[in-house]
Amino acid sequence: MQEFKKKLSEAIVSVIEDFFQVTEIKAEDIYSYLEYPPDDKLGDLAFPCFRLSKLLRMAPPKIAESLKEKISDFPFWTAEAVGGYLNIKIKNEYLESKVLGNIEEQGDNYGSNNIGKGKTVVLDYSSPNICKPFHIGHLGTTVIGHSLKLIHSFLGYNCIGINYLGDWGTQFGKQIAAFKKWGDREVIERGGVDELVKLYVRYNNECEENEELKDEARAEFKKLESGDEENLELWKWFVSISLKEYQKTYKQLGIEFDSYKGESFYTDKMPAQVEKLRASGLLKIDDGASIVDLTEYGMPPCLILKKDGSTLYPTRDIAAAVYRKETYNFDKCIYVTSSAQSLHFAQWFKVVELMGYDWYDKLVHVPYGTVSIDGSKLATRTGNVILLKDLFAQSIEKVKEIMKEKNPDLVDADEVAESVGVGAIVFYYLYNNRIKDINFTLEQALSFDGNTGPYAQYTYARTCSILSKADEAGIKGCGGKISHDSEAELLKVLSRFSEAVIEAHNEYEPSVITRYIIDLCSSFNHFYRDCPIVTAEDDDIKQFRVRLTRAANGVLKTALHLICIKTPEKI
């Protein structure tokens, strides 16, 4: 549609120049005024002429009339003047030759763009705190983050995905002390993070009654900080136990990271930044702690050093940002976290600005709302947090049951059930605007006929099965033209894909693509309902419908992959 809108805008501008002798208006302005009419019976696009009435000193309905007359000579559309609007209908020839033609020519690249060419984007996402369970709160950062990475790559950016593990802090003193007291290597090797959590919780509980334990933990952390071999070995082992477990979840989601440099990596990089802060007079001592006062900017102070001189979360973030700028020279550095951390990011972004780093405006915080799930029905192992792996496992089990009924002979049933079960949750999550708090039930996410992942994956599988039937019947899928409205409608939806990708990119909002997928699926399913494909009588019609199916198949696959959803060919 972008190309179409561009052509239309240029045509309108040339009419304005020739007919009204006005040259102030540019095609980009016209482009930005174009609207999608609320009812598609009115047309595919509308131009609100009141936008020009001041400039042309003419009433909008008159402008619409004059434009209509002049513009109807162009080959790709028909125009209608209704009130102050110029309504445009795309001609089938355009859909056939340009839209379908483009999809076929560009293949997997259809919808992509090179706006990111030569630019680097760093994305900091997922970033769980080790020795802690990976719970549903991490779903947002993990899938929004990865989807944004895929969207940026699709638009030509060089992307670096960083898992900024929370792998440093005084809590590891407790973890080490607890392990030394009660830990058993084998139990932890077998039970993973759950066992580490048990040790930690026990230690914390006993700390409440026993001050000495607190001191012990502090001493263990000090030893770790100063490089004590035994403690360092234990800590590394905790990291690897945690990662091994998180990686199972990443694998189910098809996610890989380019770097796992966590908070610990920055311990030796903080002093330089603290020094810079001090030298530039930004540090203030407040009750023994070192802070940057942000009253002037309407924010509480940013904490840099505790009373005892130890560093804090913002200190590490500042050092990490400087390191990333030096290492990757990013054009954008994106942080995806819950909106509960919005203040933290606003504060340290401001500090980076005050420090004189001219790239402060390249730091982007992408917040998201909270997720709650019909919790009571889910098994939880550690208190009341819901683990992502448990949620996935339940979803996969349910899908297996459904599939046993729907398609008992399916090959690779387990693999498919995993793609559908996990995909259902991801899709449901990414369907909403990220900032909204959401609550969902598995039943809703798994419904095969709502706006869900299974529905989208099922539609994709349907396109695959039609294409394989066409293949068996020797239908190549070439030539032909539009013979039914549903075909034209499908092509119009297909033509909007690149706009959806750009909007998702501009707004840091994968949900734009998720909702586009639903539009595409419903448009394809209308077409499928209205139009026999392989069984159509006329050969030209058959050929054309196979082409359309192939186009929908390709775009659906690309779009689903952009939101981290796998695409089994049979369900």
Please report, as ranges, the residues that interact with ligand ARG according to CB under 6 A: 124, 127-129, 164, 166, 317, 335, 337
When computed from its CA atoms, the radius of gyration of the chain, rounded to whole angstroms, is: 29
Tokens 């719970």 locate to: 135
Question: Minimum distance from CB of 182 to ligand ARG (Å)?
Answer: 26
CB of 124 to ligand ARG, least distance (A): 5
- Complex with ligand ARG: residue 154 or 348, whichever CB lies closer: 348
Cβ at position 326, least distance to ligand ARG in Å:
16
Q: Residue 303 or residue 546: which is nearer to ligand ARG going by CB?
A: 303
Closer residue to ligand ARG in complex, CB, 49/193? 193
> Could you tell me the sign of the dihedral formed by the alpha carbons of 544, 550, 553, 558, in that order?
negative
Least CB distance to ligand ARG at residue 261 (A): 11
| Shortest Å distance, C-beta 223 to ligand ARG | 23
Contacts of 201 (CB under 8 A, 6+ apart): 382
In the complex with ligand ARG, the residue whose CB is nearer, 367 or 568, is 367
Q: Which residues pair with 124 in a beta bridge?
A: 162, 335
Buried/exposed code over 518-550 (b: 16+ C-beta within 10 A; e: otherwise): bebbebbbbbbeebebbebeeeebbbbbbbbbb
Between 126 and 452, name the residue whose CB sits nearer to ligand ARG.
Answer: 126
CB of 338 to ligand ARG, least distance (A): 7
58, 35, 59: which is closest to 48 by C-alpha? 35
Residue nearest to ligand ARG (CB): 166
Nearest distance from residue 266's CB to ligand ARG, in Å? 10
Q: Rounded to the nearest 5°, which phi and psi values hold at 418?
A: -65, -45
Cα 340–chain centre separation: 19
The four Cα atoms 539, 475, 531, 427 give a dihedral, to 10 degrees, of -160
Closer Cβ to ligand ARG, 131 or 456, answer by number: 131
In whole angstroms, how close is the CB of 114 to ligand ARG at the nearest point?
A: 29
What is the DSSP code string of 312-360?
A: -HHHHHHHHHHHHHHHH--SEEEEEEEGGGHHHHHHHHHHHHHTT-TTG
In sequence order, the 6+-apart residues with CB closer than 8 A to the CB of 541 are 480, 483
Q: Which is nearer to ligand ARG, 310 or 468 (CB)?
A: 310
Is the Cβ–Cβ distance between 534 and 473 less than 8 Å?
yes
| Residue entry with tokens 């001041």 | 54
Our CB check for ligand ARG shows the closer of 337 and 511 to be 337
